[in-house]
Amino acid sequence: MDKFKFAIIIAYFGLAVIASAAVVLIIIFRPDATATIINYVGTIMAVASTGAVTFYMLGSQAKKIEQVAVQTNGANTALREENARLTAQLLSVVGSAPSSDQE
């Protein structure tokens, strides 16, 4: 997961460098379009940061879900073993389980 986080950070900063270079070039060659490019770059950076945070948090959530699944699986296995042991003990005392059509 750390490699994924690192890749997101590198990609985001790469995008920021390219966007900053674009703003500088627009200011030099087309000063009349400065407001437009700054708004455009701001929008791109906002969307990129929202996407990066969303993907990172989804990865963190998946990690937590896997941890809960592992912890729950162990508890369920222990409960099933205890249930099987108690069922076997009950059947040995009673003799046999009644069928579902007997009431």
pLDDT, tens digit, 9 for 90 and up, residues 73-100: 666 777 888 889 998 888 888 776 666 6
The pLDDT-based confidence of 29 (bands split at 50, 70, 90) is very high
Spatial separation of the C-alpha atoms in residues 23 and 16, rounded to whole Å: 10
pLDDT score at 91: 83
Q: Is residue 96 part of a domain?
A: no
Domain for residue 100, yes or no? no
Looking at the structure of the chain, the number of domains it has is 1
pTM more than 0.85: no
Instruction: Print the domain residue range for 79.
Output: 2-91
Domain annotation covers residue 103: no
Range of lowest pLDDT (52-56, 88-92, 99-103): 99-103
By mean pLDDT, which of 2-6, 14-18, 30-34, 37-41 is the weakest?
A: 2-6
Q: Could you tell me the CA-to-CA distances from 94 to 28, 51, 83 in Å, in that order?
A: 92, 62, 16
